[in-house]
Amino acid sequence: MYTQYSITLETKRVKTVLAITANDAGHAQAQAKDIARALKADRFELHYEEAKETSLSKLFRKLAYNEFEHKTCELWDQGLVNGVPVAYLMNNRFYVRPVVLDYLDITREEVVSPLCGNKLCVNPYHNKYKATKASKLSSADVNLALVFSSQGVPVKEIAKVLKVHRSTIYRILNR
């Protein structure tokens, strides 16, 4: 049985309240800590009372209970900036995909984009991570190219495995 709680987040003297759904008080406290970290709040307070559920609090509930399916896109139904899902809280704009990664305490690269190609998708299973927006390879692919190279694999073979032109591999190796 789930219980409703609320969290008051504060940053630079601006406060906001979010709803939290949790199994018990300990679970609510852990979620509050994760949410405060993800939203870069200076401080937070957990309350044992209900609050209105927003799209962001629904997203945090789904993250807490891992209610995402690998094959299904989770579409963001709120604010967008240049087609990218955002949430506005505490006089700040938060891009939703990086907030998800911060909530899950996953270290991330500079650019997070949907692997499924749907710009509205915020499903954490659909994220891909790249060093720059124009980068053809993820950081894992770059590391793989470096490992292959250190083992003496020819650049042509590395490019074939990673499905990029060999000049891309040469650029990585020259950095």
**Structure tokens that stand for 138 in this block:** 């993820």
> Does residue 31 contact residue 42 with C-beta atoms inside 8 Å?
no
Query: What's the full length of the chain, in residues?
Result: 175
Residue 110 confidence (pLDDT) = 64
Question: Cα-atom radius of gyration of the chain, to the nearest Å?
Answer: 20
Which tens digits make up the pLDDT trace of 59-74? 999 999 989 998 999 9
Q: What's the topology of domain 139-174?
A: Arc Repressor Mutant, subunit A (1.10.10)
Among 73, 79, 118, residue whose Cα is nearest residue 96 = 79
Q: Residue ranges of the domains in the chain? A: 3-130, 139-174
Local confidence pLDDT in tens for the 175 residues of the chain: 578 999 999 998 899 999 999 989 899 999 999 999 999 999 999 998 889 999 999 999 999 998 999 899 999 998 899 889 999 998 899 999 889 888 988 766 667 778 888 889 999 888 877 766 667 777 778 888 888 888 888 999 998 988 889 898 998 888 7
> Does residue 15 contact residue 7 with C-beta atoms inside 8 Å?
no
Among 3, 76, 107, residue whose Cα is nearest residue 46 = 3
